[in-house]
Structure 1
Amino acid sequence: MFKKTVFLILLSGFYNCEEIIEVEDISEETISILAPTNNAILDVNDINFSWEPIEHAENYHLQIATPNFELAQQIIEDTLLTSSNFTKILPTNEYQWRIKGVNSAYQTQFITHYLTIEE
């Protein structure tokens, strides 16, 4: 009887741990960008990047390149964030930026936008 009780306790402990470490699949989710909008032309340098948070995303991977990722002359930013906004001062130029949600097991696709900073 004692061995059976110990076995059941151990079995239920493993079951509960399995539930705790279950990670939600966010791979089919899509980030909705709030600002700057795609192809925005701005005359300010202090840019606030923002997007709608995704439930179960633990972090957001943000990248900024100039003039774009395919022909990148420079990767301006490549960072992992816990919030759904980021502010960066950018000089006059053309940029492409992208964001994706990530958690410990899954990630969304990047959502990519273009941005131009003018004088």
Structure 2
Amino acid sequence: MKKIVVLIIFSITLLSCEAIFVENISDKIVQVLAPKTGNELDKGPVVFSWEELEGADEYHLKIATPNFLNANQIVLDTIITRRSFSEDLTTGDYEWSVIGKNSEYETLEEINILTIR
């Protein structure tokens, strides 16, 4: 009986300490590969891509037009596990960002500006 109680206490302690084993990525920024801020692209499919971030299990990708602060439209707001995503965009100004996430933390957000002509 004593061994069972010790095993239960050990299991509860181990489960409650999960955050200790999760990498803190809250001071990192996902490095964007494309499109970079200031890019002007032709309308149509745009491939958004970024470097893999160690410690991130998924990525929160957001696109708004003309910007996040005064968004006329949230074009995309999704969680994905890949490092790229294609979205068909029409003429206009856009802001986009990608945030790395794991079970306990998320990275800083860096906003990128994009113009589609």
- Give the shorter-chain TM-score range: 0.7 to 0.9
| TM-score normalised by the chain length of structure 2 | 0.86
CA drift at 1:53 = 1.2
2:77 is aligned with 1:82: no
Q: CA deviation at 1:7?
A: 5.1
Aligned to 2:99: 100
Amino acid at match of 1:40: N
Equivalent residue, structure 1, for 2:40: 41
How far apart are the structure 1 equivalents of 2:109 and 2:77?
Answer: 13
> Does the residue aligned with 2:111 lie in a helix, a strand or coil?
strand
The residue type paired with residue 66 of structure 1 is T
Partners of 2:70 and 2:4 in 1: CA distance: 62
How many residues of Structure 1 are paired with residues of Structure 2 in the alignment? 116
Shift of 1:80: 0.6
Please tell me the root mean square deviation across aligned C-alpha atoms, in Å.
1.9
3-state secondary structure, aligned to 1:53: coil
Matched, 1:23 2:22: yes
- Listed one character per residue, the Cα deviations across residues 37-74 of structure 1 (whole Å, up to 9, x for unaligned) are 11100124110000011111111111101010111111
Q: C-alpha distance in 1, partners of 2:26/2:94?
A: 26
Deviation at 1:20, TM superposition (A): 5.9
One-letter identity of the residue aligned with 2:95:
Q
Partner of 2:67: 68
Query: What amino acid maps onto 1:46 in structure 2?
Result: P
Consecutive unaligned residues in structure 2, runs of 5 or more: none
Partner of 1:57, secondary structure, is coil
Larger Rg: 1
